[in-house]
Structure 1
């Protein structure tokens, strides 16, 4: 499968683009090699497609320029292959509220060649309708769960309180007005109400890519109070710049895409089966209360997951 095939899967299968629909492709000068094929696929389907290329943002969660945000409000479909994520921006949230179907594709890490290989052969090639069925089955299992405990052989042992908040599906399908997904898709996620324990991130972390050595975080009352290991100093600088909200445990996610694997590209890595991720920072867009211009996911591989004290076998849902 080539990049044109994956672009057509994104536009036709995942977003359900129809002839005549207003489709906006938001890209930037560093990820145009993904944005242009998606634009061409939308044109091939007969859409009123518009391609907008902006200066790359400086970090995930930073708002796009006002003209781009305005164009998003007037589009039926928005697909955003960009260097930094537009997922947790008000522009994305507001456009979904107006009925736009939106897929973000934050491609922060990776060379051009690696990104193109991932897009052509990785999580985008999954059977999205089968994956949606599996995600829905797991969602039914998780409804009403009060807490999750995550442990690993590397030392992760964290209790995450869910407080009755809603789990969200990222199925890779955005077929109804207001739907939102990542591409590739494939996860269940929630905004916790509290968390306590030790988190050892051994996969990809935020905009820093695949870690060569783990990052260890000590978490008390839902906030990071200590960081050591890979990129700990960088993280502390972010905390100083962003304020205390950046220390918030913002998300617990479970990877559900059987075709996804760890590339050092967070967009796909967080969807990989047999991983969980916990994020720091912004969660205002999916049921939380923290509104800072930062959302940094940390991938934990080979976790044991206990739901209200009972071990969850993720393999049954992949």
Structure 2
């Protein structure tokens, strides 16, 4: 086995999930993530954890959803059990959940209707909430399908993944703490981009009373992705227009060059160069899908290119992202509920040129450089 796989597993178990002896851990292993699954299982055994394994297959999910569509032969969306008791019970009994992504086909569910996917997501809201109440961490094994999606040779993609994952996370956490402090102390964020070849962005949002998360790839930092390397918060009262130039996949559909217009905190107008129907489907999921749930600032400079994987792309240095839909509880005051939705969809902007981000009128990032970095221009 590639020694980097074992290192990946050790970072996941020790730094990210902070697994201890006696912990009940659910591990979901995708079709082609077998090697990482083996390394994680070995590491969990060495640490004295209890393990339950699940098969996280997009192809199985497709088969189930297609069968459900066939059952609803009148053309309506299929109806799913609104409280899948067994699935929910698994996560309610778990201390931690580790998702090891890496399937055979990154578009395995492309021919499942949006209506079926949306109905399924709504029905599994309770399962999702139970899963998110655990110390959960999501990562990926560098598979050939993901390499193909990223437009890389497999060995090239393996290096890309491990450069992003096998970081000095303590040092990066210290750097990102500076951004967290700015957001925690701030009341308003403004993001501006001005480009000749794309629509401008000029959007403001309130962050008063919110707590930013220093997402340093560890549950100890309220961070649940490996790799990570972003600072995020839960904005509200959004006004203005935002343009997202980084391509993404939504509901197995390629979406490019998204424009959102906000008034009174809601998306009131939108368009996309491609994939507009998929974007519209997300925004129509429920009322919360037209409000922001996240402002995220990418700070992992080990990620040096876009790969059409939100796990990596949103963490890349020189980017910011806004997510419509669900807000994360970690950003909210006690006993306060933030934006609620069955979806959480991130959209990313490259801010490496002709851009600035202000907190309470002070420029804290310009052209991708933070004010504490060499090359920053105030």
Q: Into which bin does the TM-score normalised by the smaller protein fall?
A: 0.7 to 0.9
Rounded Cα–Cα distance in structure 2 between residues aligned with 1:284 and 1:138: 18
Aligned CA distance change for structure 1 residues 95 and 217 (closer, same or farther; 3 Å): closer
Note the C-alpha offset of 1:156: 1.3
Change (3 A) 1:26 1:220: same
C-alpha separation in 1, matches of 2:100 and 2:22: 22
Shift of 1:10: 1.2
In 1, Cα distance between equivalents of 2:83 and 2:15:
27
CA distance in 2, matches of 1:68, 1:36: 23
Unpaired runs of 5+ in structure 1?
Answer: none
Greater RCO, CA 8 A, separation 6+: 1
1:15/1:77 contact within 8 Å kept: yes
When the two chains are superposed, the root-mean-square deviation of aligned CA atoms in Å is 3.5
Matched residues, number:
307
Instruction: Determine which of 95, 98, 116 is the counterpart of 1:79.
Output: 98
| Distance (whole Å) between structure 2 residues aligned to residue 68 and residue 118 of structure 1 | 35
Give the corresponding residue for 2:115: none
Residue equivalent to 2:201:
156
SS of the residue corresponding to residue 219 of structure 2 reads coil
Corresponding residue of 2:212:
167
Q: CA deviation at 1:234?
A: 1.8
Match of 2:370 in 1: 315
Matching residue of 1:135 = 176
Aligned to 1:224: 267
Residue of structure 1 equivalent to 2:73: none
1:120-269 superposed matches below 5 A? 120-154=161-195, 155-175=200-220, 179-205=222-248, 207=250, 213-228=256-271, 229-240=273-284, 242-261=285-304, 262-269=306-313
Give the alignment's TM-score, normalised by structure 1.
0.81
**Could you say which structure has the larger radius of gyration?**
2
**1:174 & 1:94 partners in 2: Cα distance?**
16
The alignment partner of 1:153 has SS state of strand
Contact 2:28–2:100 under 8 Å retained in 1: yes
User: 2: distance between equivalents of 1:208 and 1:95?
Assistant: 21
Distance in 2, matches of 1:6 and 1:73, equals 27
Residues in 1 aligned to 2:160 and 2:39: alpha-carbon distance in whole angstroms: 11
1:140 to 1:260, Cα distance in 2 relative to 1, 3 A = same
The whole-number CA distance in structure 2 between the counterparts of 1:90 and 1:199 is 32
